[in-house]
Every structure is written in C-alpha cells, then in structure tokens.
Amino acid sequence: MRQLNREALAIIVALQAFKTFTVCDAEINPEQVPCGWSHRCQAYFNALPAPLVEAAGLHKNTHDFILALDYVVTDEMRGTEFSLLGKFVLSEWDR
C-alpha cells in the first residue's frame, strides 16, 4: 500500500489543475490546441523530474498517470500537515 505524501499531493494537484486549464483553453482557443487534453496531460506528467516522481512514490507509467488524474483530493488532505499526509492511502497496490 502506498501512502500520500507532500510530493504526491503536489503532483496530483498540479496535474489536475493542468487538465482543467487544458480543457478550458481548448474551449477558448480551439484552433491553438493541436491535440486532446489527455495527450497533453500525459506529456506533462512524463516531463516531471524523475526525482520528484520517485519521492512521490509514483512511476512514469499509464497506471500512475490515471491514478494521479483520478485521485480525489479532499479538504482534509489539503488542510493536513505535510508530515501527517501518510495517514491517507495513495494506492492500495504496491508497485
């Protein structure tokens, strides 16, 4: 089982915000977006620095990309001290 940590939370929030931006940008500027949001978000995820992804307990693969994109971040998580984020489960599956 993988626990949530500061790095994982930062990646999840950033990836989900990037998805929101990409979808909205496509609505505002449809001619300037060459590919769909999923492709752009996966490219963003894969471009993250390897040490950050490793510290987050994630891997640059499709499974962890979908995990981060679909992860539900609660207000409780956002309000928790970074050192206590481990009480939240990131994934039931060990990698």
A 10 A CB-CB count for 80 gives 16
Q: What pLDDT is attached to residue 29? A: 84
Q: What residue numbers bound the domain in which 46 lies?
A: 12-76
Residue recorded with tokens 């640059």: 60
- 29 or 9: whose pLDDT is higher? 9
Confidence of residue 94 (pLDDT cuts 50, 70, 90): low
In a domain, 1, yes or no: no
Give how many domains the chain has, as a whole number.
1
In a domain, 81, yes or no: no
Residue 34 has pLDDT above 80, yes or no: no
Q: What pLDDT is attached to residue 13? A: 98
In a domain, 27, yes or no: yes
Confidence of residue 52 (pLDDT cuts 50, 70, 90): very high
Spatial CA neighbour of 71 closest among 91, 54, 52? 91
Under 8 Å between Cβ of 85 and 3: yes
The pLDDT mean for the chain works out to: 91
In a domain, 40, yes or no: yes
In a domain, 65, yes or no: yes
Confidence of residue 67 (pLDDT cuts 50, 70, 90): very high
Helix H segments across 29-78? 37-46, 50-55, 62-70, 75-78
